[in-house]
Structure 1
């Protein structure tokens, strides 16, 4: 990776890291504050789901604003809105108000991710896109771990200190983006495939993405509630949540290597069954804090690996022209699952007790095992078209970022082999699935924020020299 390209990617990655520190423990703070105020698990679940609803809405709508005002202005607008919603939560304590603020905050947060991911997407060609994605994920997960570790420190300050710190971090994240040369890349708009088309194209990918959303939403929103109610202090809750995020970061790569060497459907069955075993262990074993931490580390690795393996399986099935739109559609299905998770699982915790969370994890895992096993018996697994690519569900452009040149070439080869063998594809492609081809990596349109309504067309090498 060239020095110029690294400098271009440094500012958005720094902004992501700063914002991610605060965003990493905001959901935990909200859950713990509502529980301390005596709110029921159902109320906590609905307030938590508002954030994921905002994520889904933003993933569908925010690209229009970005196209209109440019990356740097959009980033400043979204990050400022995140700061405002968080600070208002420190001033106003009403569950209905927090629901609205979390909805707006989710919409604004995914806008921030949209700016960063689209910036990285067009900063380099396919040869370096995988490394940019790796840097993106390292920044995101490292910020999440650090944020959870800060939870105990900020909560010990009392009052609205946690919300003030998170708001300050959101505001500070604007600085790296505002201080770079005032040019930004062009974002191409592409609509995701409809859920019905996706179900026809890749049932396993759809169910895997939806199930992953249910599990991840419950992990972020309801696991802190479980930990506090079983007797952990606030700082220990943050440490346990940091262990979960650390497991998600460290175990994705080994799981990915496993999925490259074996049938991805079998890997999905294995991950789902593994999550069932973790849930059973938490429910029935006498747990010490260290044993629980180890189980949560493994749970984070399993839950967060479901989505990228499901997307990888879907890519093995998809026509080359549908890869980007398919990935975007699966991302939105994942966000819908995350939004539905707290309202669905929190009533179980109210009826069964705090352990209802792990009963829900176990039931979900069993359902996924049954579905994936049925799909494998109905249709043999495809040959992987490309190596595993770690994927984190954030925005529609993040889905496009993970569609590598290797995936495209593999899908094209898969289509060619099917044509020669006379096999019938899963779905008839009667019309083009994508719009105009993306701009060549060496020739990108940039918008200049200095003069509104004007644009300059230049090569990346010229812009690198200018910076």
Structure 2
């Protein structure tokens, strides 16, 4: 076990959350933009799943070594560093429009985003355990609220121009400047401890599986949902609006997650939200109406994006503060494994009549059954770090 001293004081959450919101707008716009701009830059639409998997492969690799960077330079400076790194990947895409360069850029972007996630999540998780769910709700609402606004950019800026990249870079620069010149303090903790391999194996299994399933779902949704909607003959402008509704569902569910976790177990909650996702996908089979599709996507967003905050909160229950960054990194690693596998696994469903929704249906149903089984299992839970 390694212990690294951190000099810090009372944490302040406004600046990192505001910077995260600006990043989320830029990232949400970019994630929906990439699959739709492939043809414009001479790339095949089949590249969408590979680009999504390259991004999440970077997320996977980044999740393995972010912790020492945060320990060495602190949360604020680490946040700035990863935002700048992410910005550089955006610059290269319109300048070098080749599949290999885009693949590499998305891989590096994944590493940068892993850093952003670990920094902000651990920043908010360190502190009073009773208000942890509320802080995570603030984090997720800011992340998905910003992403909702970003999705709308598709219908505002012409994809045939360079303006989308200019807007995305401007938002990232604004987030970086806010961190550079805004006043915020580092999280308060005396030591930063690394979980041993034995302690990692003692972590809550349902939490780790929840993080992995969340990656499977979110990775495939961000990577392939725009193409799924396009295959359903939805116009480009409406694709942006529908993706925004999906992410809006993710934002709206966060207060429900925070409230529900006070009255029932997190495993049971994850099972119920997965069941909501199964219901949402079932609605799309009953009608081809755009209104029904919109309602289904809101419910699907609520279901899929509720799993990660519940899982990461479950994984940190009972942990001492000095293990939070390490635990966050491990759970992001589990999320990243799912994120890498998700788009590739879902791609095999795209050629079937069920499409992406078939993959989501099977994954959500299996996860709901697992979480229900785990919630009624009578076994003492082993807590990592003890």
The corresponding residue for 1:363 is: 362
String of CA shifts for 1:391-421, please: whole Å, max 9, x gaps.
xxxxxxxxxxxxxxxxxxxxxxxxxxxxxxx
The 1-side partners of 2:340 and 2:372 are apart by: 26
Q: Tell me if 1:16 matches 2:20.
A: yes
Q: Which runs of structure 2 are paired with 1:69-88 in the superposition (5 Å)?
A: 69-88=73-92
Which of 216, 219, 240 matches 1:217? Answer: 219
Cα separation, 1, equivalents of 2:181 and 2:375: 52
Q: Which residue of structure 2 lines up, in the alignment, with residue 150 of structure 1?
A: 153
What's the counterpart of residue 352 of structure 1?
A: 352
Unaligned runs of 5+ in 1: 383-424, 435-467
What aligned pairs does 1:90-105 form with structure 2 within 5 A after superposition? Answer: 90-105=94-109
Secondary structure of the 2:13 match is helix
Please say if residues 283 and 292 of structure 2, whose CA atoms lie closer than 8 Å, have aligned partners that are also in contact: no
1:44 aligns with 2:48: yes
Which has the larger Rg? 1
Match among 150, 168, 174 for residue 170 of structure 2: 168
Q: Is the 8 A contact 2:217 2:342 kept in 1?
A: yes
Q: Where does 1:281-360 land on structure 2 (aligned, <5 Å)?
A: 281-282=283-284, 284-314=285-315, 324=324, 325-326=326-327, 328-349=329-350, 351-353=351-353, 355-360=354-359
Q: Report deviation, 1:130.
A: 5.8
TM alignment of 1:172-251, pairs within 5 A:
172-180=174-182, 189-192=192-195, 194=197, 201-251=203-253
Instruction: Work out the CA distance in 1 between the residues paired with 2:164 and 2:171.
Output: 11
Rate the CA distance shift 1:192–1:58 in 2: closer, same or farther, 3 A: farther
Check whether the contact 2:261–2:269 (CA below 8 A) recurs between aligned residues: yes
- Structure with higher RCO (Cα < 8 A, 6+ apart): 2
Alignment check: 8 A CA contact 1:213 1:341 kept: yes
Scaled by the length of structure 2, the TM-score of the pair is 0.83
- Paired residue total: 375
Give the aligned CA root-mean-square deviation in angstroms: 3.4
Asked if 2 retains the 8 angstrom alpha-carbon contact of 1:202 and 1:314, the reply is: yes
Matches of 1:227 and 1:359 in 2, distance apart?
14
* TM-score (normalised: structure 1): 0.70
Q: Describe the SS at the equivalent of 1:352.
A: coil
Whether the 8 Å CA contact 1:82–1:167 is kept in 2: the answer is no
Per-residue CA deviations over 1:315-342 (Å, capped at 9, x if unaligned) read: 66x6769973555433321221112111
Match of 1:253 in 2: 255
Quote the offset at 1:176 in angstroms: 1.3
Residue 303 (structure 1) shift: 0.7
Q: In the TM superposition, what is the alpha-carbon distance from 1:247 to its structure 2 partner?
A: 0.6
Q: Deviations over 1:217-239 (max 9, x none)?
A: 11111111111222222221111
Does 2:111 align with 1:110?
A: no
SS in 1 for 2:305: helix
Equivalent residue, structure 2, for 1:33? 37
CA contact (8 A) 1:322 1:433 kept: no
